Amino acid sequence: MTERVFSIAKSVLAVAVLLSLASAGGVLGYLRQPRELRFEPPVAADLDWFRLMSNGIGGTPPESYFALGKPYEADAYNLSQGKRLYAWFGCGTCHGDGRGGVGPSFLDGWWLYGPEMVSIVASIRDGRPHGMPAFRDRLTIEQIWQLAGYVQTIGSYSPKVAAPSRNDDKQTRPAENRGPAIILFDEGPVGVHPDQGPSP
C-alpha cells in the first residue's frame, strides 16, 4: 500500500516539475495572446473618449482602456491587425516602411506629437496640420487603436514580445519583433531631423 502511495507521490512530483516549466512557457505566451475579435459596441465607442492636452500632445486614455488591460499595445493579434491596416490604408505611401517619406519616420526616436498611444490615435483619427490626413471616416475607432499600437511598436527601442514578425514580402528593414529602431539607429553628425532640436 505504501508503495502505491509512494508511486503516486513520485509521479505527482515529476508532473509538477514539468508542469511548472511548461506553464512558465504558457504564461509567457498568454501575455500576448487573449484574442478579443470584437468588443461590445458601448465598450468600443468608449475608446473614442480619451482626453487630449490642449496642444494635441499627450493625454489620458479612457478608463475602460485600462479595464480592458491595454489590449492595443501588448496583444499580438491587435498588433498584427494594425500591421495589416497599415498596408491596406496606404500609410506607407507617405511613411514608407516606417522610415518616413513625405510623412515623418516612426523609428528614428522622434515623435512630433509625443509617443503616447492617445497622441498617435489622435494623429490618425483627426489628422495633423502639416499634411497628415484624418482617417476617422474610413476606419473604426478599434482599427485606429490597432494601427496606433502598431505604429508605436515600429519605433520601440525594446521590442515588445508581441511585436509582429516579417511579412511574406521583399524585406526592406528588420521586422518589428527584432527592434528595427535599435538596429537602424544611426547617430549621425547632425540629428536626423535638425529642425526638431538636438535630442529626441
Partner 1 sequence: MTSRNAGALRDTAFDAAEIDRRLAAIWSTTPGVWGALATVDHKVIGRRYITTAFVFLALGGLLSLLMRLQLAQPEARFIGPDRYNQLFTMHGTNMMFLFAVPVMQAMAVYLVPLMVGTRNIAFPRLNAFSYWMYLAGGLLLWIAFVLDTGPDVGWFAYVPLSGPQYAAGKRADIWAQMITFTEVSALAVAVEIVVTVFKHRAPGMSLDRIPLFVWSMLVTSFVVILAMPAIMVASTALILDRLVETHFFNPAEGGDVLLWQHLFWFFGHPEVYIIFLPAVGMVSTIVATFTRRPVFGYLAMVMALIATGILAFGLWVHHMFVAGLPRLGESFFTASSMAIAVPAGLQIFCWLATIWAGRPIFTTPFLFAIGFIVTFVIGGLTGVMVASVPFDTQVHDTYFVVAHFHYVLVGGAVFPLLGALYYWFPKLTGRLMSETRGRWVFGLIFVGFNLTFFPMHILGLQGMPRRIYTYQPEMPWSGLNMFISLSAVILAGGFLLFFIDVIRSARTGAVASSNPWEASTLEWATSSPPPPYNFARLPVVGGLDPLSDRRDVLPVAAGLRVDRRELLVSSIVEATPEAREASSGDSIWPLLAAIATTATLIWSIFTPWAVVWGSIPIAIALIGWFWPKGVPEDES
Chosen residue from 70, 171, 185, 200 binding partner 1 by CB under 8 A: 171
Measured CA to CA, the distance from residue 26 to residue 16 in angstroms comes to 15
Residues in 113-132 that interact with ligand HEC by CB under 6 A: 113, 120, 123-124, 128-132
148: CB partners within 8 A, 6+ apart: 72, 82, 117, 120, 121, 124
Say which entry of ligand HEC, partner 1, none residue 29 contacts (CB below 5 to 8 A, set by partner kind): partner 1
Measured CA to CA, the distance from residue 177 to residue 188 in angstroms comes to 25
Say which entry of ligand HEC, partner 1, none residue 93 contacts (CB below 5 to 8 A, set by partner kind): ligand HEC
| Residue 186 near partner 1 by CB under 8 A | no
60: CB partners within 8 A, 6+ apart: 50, 51, 118
Smallest distance, Å, CB 65 to ligand HEC? Answer: 18
Residues in 142-161 that interact with partner 1 by CB under 8 A: 161
Measured CA to CA, the distance from residue 58 to residue 114 in angstroms comes to 6
Measured CA to CA, the distance from residue 78 to residue 72 in angstroms comes to 6
Smallest distance, Å, CB 55 to partner 1? Answer: 35
Per the DSSP assignment, residues forming a β-bridge with 52 are 59
Q: Are 47 and 145 in contact (CB under 8 A)?
A: yes
| Residue 165 near partner 1 by CB under 8 A | yes
End-to-end CA distance of the chain: 71
Smallest distance, Å, CB 102 to partner 1? Answer: 25
Report how many residues bind partner 1 under the rule CB under 8 A: 46
Chosen residue from 19, 67, 102, 183 binding partner 1 by CB under 8 A: 19
Chosen residue from 111, 146, 176, 179 binding ligand HEC by CB under 6 A: 111
Which residues of the shown chain bind ligand HEC in the complex (CB under 6 A)?
89-91, 93-95, 102-104, 111-113, 120, 123-124, 128-133, 135, 147, 151
